[in-house]
Amino acid sequence: MPRVAIGLRCRAMRAVQIEEFGGPEVLRLAELPVPEPGPGELLIRVSRAGLNFGDTHQRRNQYIAKHELPVVLGGEVAGVVERVGPPADDSTSGRDPSAVKITHGPSDVPGVGDRAIALLRTGGYAEYAVAPAARAFRIPDGVSDDDALALLIQGLTAWHLLRTSAHLARGESVVVHSAAGGVGSLLTQLAAPLGAGRVIATAGSDERRAEALELGADVALAAETGPAAAPAAAVGDVALADRDGLAGPLTDALIAANGGRPLDVVLDAAGGAVFAQSLAALGPFGRIVAYGNSTREKVAVTNGDLLRSSRAVVGFWLMHLLDRRDMLAEPLADLFARAARGELRPRVGGTYPLADAARAHADLEARRTAGKLTLDTTA
């Protein structure tokens, strides 16, 4: 383990740091000072750090937000609040006071000794992490740290995809791609309770498709793309003009799975041909929400494509909610309540010792895992 000079008065902790961008091997255990909570921040003794697919993009420097090196990755933690920093003084910090306003009152924010989950920009893969109090939430009794983390980023993403981004209306058809993944498995379970009429899942293996059906999907397909067949005939109500350049076998399969009708809502994190062919399967006023790009393939959509078809392409990035506690706390309370009632099953895909972060990233990128991955900082 590389050693760094730690001042005599500083406590040291283990953390997984990257000093260069690259493959999983750049994730290395390091000894770093325990961070100090600043104004409006909490120091959390971390028991579990959540891993996210986006972390693999960050590790390769292919993420939407760029990081300076060295950096400790990790956007979410579960643990116990050990210390509370001084109160935030927003009049002197230069920050917009509304950005850190806690609308639910101080009793809503975890205090010293409370079990908590928190959203961070970086710094989660460590024994201690500092989080803004406005982005920390109590873990309800009876909920494990792993389950709480499975409901945090993935749960909030699923909830807002359906409610805020897609504006799902009662009875609409919904396509959930990668339906057995962390976000996908929650989307599959939440879609019908939040109003969907028909839920069409796609997943990469028979086992995952069986799981999607078990989670509540009406039908589960392989997301087979490939080139478009000769445009001999329209499929369902989709006019030939709408299929130009975008449609393919997945378009046809999705429409067929919806009884020959074009779709209302598609939730996609694959990008590339899956995104393009799903967009072509939407009917007028249908919405596709792009919330990830795991294929790392971009798709160009023109304004002409949109106006000709009356379709909407919507983006979603959880980062835009970080300073909106009301948009975090209320959905999270709803997700925890649904889980407590047994209506929502968080999917935990595995827990790795902190020192094995590189193996966890390699497994995640190779699609060997399904569900929420966490790092055990106590192992």
Residues lying near ligand NAP in the complex (CB under 6 A) are found at 52-54, 153-154, 157, 178, 180-184, 203-204, 208, 269-270, 291-292, 294-295, 316-318, 364, 367, 370-371
Q: Residue 82 Cβ, how far from ligand NAP at the closest point, in Å?
A: 27
294 within 8 A of 53, measured Cβ to Cβ? yes
Q: Residue 35 Cβ, how far from ligand NAP at the closest point, in Å?
A: 24
Residue number, nearest CB to ligand NAP: 181
145 within 8 A of 115, measured Cβ to Cβ? yes
Toward ligand NAP, which CB reaches closer, 2 or 227?
A: 227
Q: Residue 175 Cβ, how far from ligand NAP at the closest point, in Å?
A: 13
Report which of 33, 35, 29, 28 is spatially closest to residue 6, judged by C-alpha positions: 33
- Note the maximum CA span of the chain: 76
Task: Give the residue carrying structure tokens 């294929």.
Answer: 295
DSSP assignment of 162-210 equals: IIIIS---TT-EEEESSTTSHHHHHHHHHHTTTT-SEEEEE-SSHHHHH
In this structure, what token pair is assigned to residue 354? 């902190």
Toward ligand NAP, which CB reaches closer, 76 or 127?
A: 76
- In Å, how far are 10, 35, 379 from 127, measured between CA atoms? 14, 10, 10
Q: Residue 353 Cβ, how far from ligand NAP at the closest point, in Å?
A: 19
How far is 216 from 222, CA to CA, in rounded Å?
17
Q: Residue 347 Cβ, how far from ligand NAP at the closest point, in Å?
A: 8
In this structure, what token pair is assigned to residue 336? 């925890």
Q: Residue 235 Cβ, how far from ligand NAP at the closest point, in Å?
A: 23
